Chains A and B, each alone.
Chain A
Amino acid sequence: MAEIKQGGEQFGNRWGLLATVLGMAVGTGNIWRFPREVASNNGGAFIIACFIAIFIWAVPLICAESVFGKKARMANAGAFKILLGEKWTWMGGFVAVTCTMIGAYYAVVLGWVMKYLMLIFSGFLGQVAQPGAGVELTTATWNAFAMTPPSWEAVGWFLVATTIAGVIIFRGVQGGLEKANKIMVPAVFVLLAILAVRVLMLPKAIGGLEYMFHIDFADFAKPKMWLAAFTQAAWSTGAGWGMFHVFYVYSAKNEDIELNAFTVAFGDTAAAMLAAMVVLPAVYALAPDPVAVLKSGANGLTFINLTNLFAHTTGGFLMAVLFFLALFSAALSSLIGMVELTTRNLMDMGMSRSSGTLISTIFYMVVGGFSAADNNIFENQDFTWGVALLMSGLCYSVASIKYGVEKLWVEDIEPCSDLKVKWMWTAIKLFPVLFVLVWGWWFKEAVSWYPGEWFKFWPITKYVYTPGAMVVEWAIVFALLIALNQKISAKLVHANKLD
């Protein structure tokens, strides 16, 4: 056991930190997003693009976050203040707000998964297997549950999910975060591996693997595929979300940064590939029209089509339980990371862990409640704050460049690392260029999707995906943070001191 100095919280050992950051990274982005992205981006070339994005986008960003947390011993806003100066506090604040807003609607997904686990245990698959039921029943059930606002039942499950995450965070770093993740993270890998073996034994399942890994070299010339790969890398690994930063506030003084970043990025990739090797072969083995199923969107694929497919296969009950348990563990381990981020930022302003957790949980319940009640709001929040992650990543890149990329390598990364590959860190300098290319291309495309309406934003239930709605929501947060910069900065004085 590493030492825990009076007044500060710390992970028990390196494996505790690794389980926690891996648990945060492996989430719904792996299990339901990656298989769908592989399918919609034509398979093999997309996977290779993802590997490139991991090396030049995810690993450097994870290193940047980690070094900020370890160096400042404060969460996002506090660390930007300590390392860059008071006038930069708002930048760390934007990272914290982005992740908090994502957490608020992310808890909704966990609520959905819990509802479906309950449905499966109460014999729902038997009803779906009845003649004439099938996909019509799974569609009707999903629509009645989550797609018909106000979805009060979804709100109820969302509140339960948020409460569970709040209770884990309330128990602290070693008693809550570390203990929960040491169980949940191996569970996700084991459940997915069992599922993959079972699914690959089904007839025609090999078609899913062929679709997943077939390669068309013309795909490498498509900007859309690269955008999807870089967005997937950010989404899935959690690079730029600010959570690695917060977990490193509790790391040992000599904690490795680069090897841990590399391990988490590829652990996350391994989980995503395992998930895709479950979902795509399952769809090919069980669905009469696999392509239509794969294009039915994340929710359609998981809650409508996979549920239907599990109902119509031998051993489907067990497969469904394993799949939704894996999704539950992955989503919960990510959500607790988000609640911890919000809580730690409040603790840096002088709150106790219990008060910080209580306020964070209530905030999640209030803000996320709108997303739970109305799926259009959920979609808008997913879009607005999902894209804001690129901006969060930019904040870390700019901050690293301003502080000194070389200085951080010499002082903090290289001395403690068992993997000393400098270019994997210095690639952080490329981020602003990649950001302009990726975001600029996306913005140009998005404007063309809504001719004459791209700048409109109200009501957001109507202008769910317009660039206008997204930019207005970001602008409100930026304006508030810049206006309150001095006040927030003055309160950020309570670092997690280990001495």
Chain B
Amino acid sequence: MWVANMIVCCAIGFGCFGYAIKLMMDAEEKKKKAAKAP
């Protein structure tokens, strides 16, 4: 049981952080592309 909970907790704790960073990087990339576009 504790192993299952560890997987769930790590998925939420680290996963949400990773997902948020990915969203941020995508958004910054979009902004850069938009700024370069004529």
A interface residues (Cβ-Cβ under 8 A, vs B) = 14, 18, 43-44, 47-48, 51, 209-210, 212-215, 256, 259-260, 262-263, 266-267, 269-270, 273, 418-419
Across-interface contacts of B23 in A (CB, < 8 A): 259, 418-419
- A18 to B12 alpha-carbon distance, docked (Å): 20
- A88 to B2 alpha-carbon distance, docked (Å): 49
From 3 to 20 in chain B, residues with beta carbon under 8 angstroms from any chain A beta carbon are 3, 5-6, 9-10, 12-14, 16-17, 20
The reply to whether A44 and B13 contact each other, CB–CB distance below 8 Å, is no
Shortest CB-to-CB span from A44 to chain B, Å, is 5
Interface core residue of A44, A210, A213, A214 (most chain B CB under 10 Å)? A213
Across-interface contacts of B20 in A (CB, < 8 A): 259, 262-263, 266-267, 419
Q: Which of B5, B12, B14, B24 contacts A215 (CB 8 A)?
A: B5
- A419 to B16 alpha-carbon distance, docked (Å): 12
- A267 to B21 alpha-carbon distance, docked (Å): 9
User: Are A14 and B28 CB-contacts (below 8 A) given A44-B9, A273-B9?
Assistant: yes
The reply to whether B5 and A44 contact each other, CB–CB distance below 8 Å, is yes
Residue of B nearest to A256 (CB): B27
User: Are A259 and B24 CB-contacts (below 8 A) given A48-B9, A266-B17, A269-B17?
Assistant: yes
- A273 to B17 alpha-carbon distance, docked (Å): 12
Across-interface contacts of A419 in B (CB, < 8 A): 20, 23
Please name 28 pairs of A and B residues whose Cβ atoms are closer than 8 Å in the assembled complex, sorted by A.
Answer: A14-B24, A18-B24, A44-B5, A47-B13, A48-B5, A51-B9, A51-B13, A213-B6, A213-B9, A214-B5, A259-B23, A259-B27, A260-B24, A263-B20, A263-B24, A266-B16, A266-B20, A267-B17, A269-B16, A269-B17, A270-B17, A273-B9, A273-B10, A273-B13, A273-B14, A418-B26, A418-B27, A419-B23
User: Are A270 and B14 CB-contacts (below 8 A) given A263-B21, A418-B24?
Assistant: yes
Residue of B nearest to A47 (CB): B9
Across-interface contacts of A214 in B (CB, < 8 A): 1-2, 5
B interface residues (Cβ-Cβ under 8 A, vs A) = 1-3, 5-6, 9-10, 12-14, 16-17, 20-21, 23-24, 26-28
- A48 to B10 alpha-carbon distance, docked (Å): 11
Across-interface contacts of A209 in B (CB, < 8 A): 2, 6
Interface core residue of B5, B10, B13, B24 (most chain A CB under 10 Å)? B13
Q: How many A-B residue pairs have CB under 8 A?
A: 65
Shortest CB-to-CB span from B36 to chain A, Å, is 15
- A234 to B13 alpha-carbon distance, docked (Å): 16
- A309 to B6 alpha-carbon distance, docked (Å): 25
Shortest CB-to-CB span from B38 to chain A, Å, is 21
Other than the known A14-B24, A214-B1, A214-B2, what 12 A-B pairs have Cβ atoms closer than 8 Å? A47-B5, A48-B9, A213-B6, A262-B16, A263-B21, A266-B17, A267-B20, A269-B13, A270-B14, A418-B23, A418-B26, A419-B23
Shortest CB-to-CB span from A220 to chain B, Å, is 13
- A14 to B20 alpha-carbon distance, docked (Å): 13
- A51 to B9 alpha-carbon distance, docked (Å): 9
Across-interface contacts of B5 in A (CB, < 8 A): 44, 47-48, 213-215
User: Are A215 and B1 CB-contacts (below 8 A) given A14-B24, A262-B20?
Assistant: yes
The reply to whether A44 and B27 contact each other, CB–CB distance below 8 Å, is no
Residue of A nearest to B26 (CB): A418
Shortest CB-to-CB span from B25 to chain A, Å, is 10
Residue of A nearest to B15 (CB): A266
User: Are A210 and B13 CB-contacts (below 8 A) given A14-B24, A259-B23?
Assistant: no
Across-interface contacts of B17 in A (CB, < 8 A): 263, 266-267, 269-270
Residue of A nearest to B3 (CB): A213
Across-interface contacts of B6 in A (CB, < 8 A): 209, 212-213
- A266 to B17 alpha-carbon distance, docked (Å): 5
- A264 to B7 alpha-carbon distance, docked (Å): 21
- A418 to B28 alpha-carbon distance, docked (Å): 10
Residue of B nearest to A211 (CB): B2
Across-interface contacts of A14 in B (CB, < 8 A): 24, 28
Across-interface contacts of B3 in A (CB, < 8 A): 213
The reply to whether A213 and B13 contact each other, CB–CB distance below 8 Å, is no
Across-interface contacts of A260 in B (CB, < 8 A): 24
Across-interface contacts of A18 in B (CB, < 8 A): 24
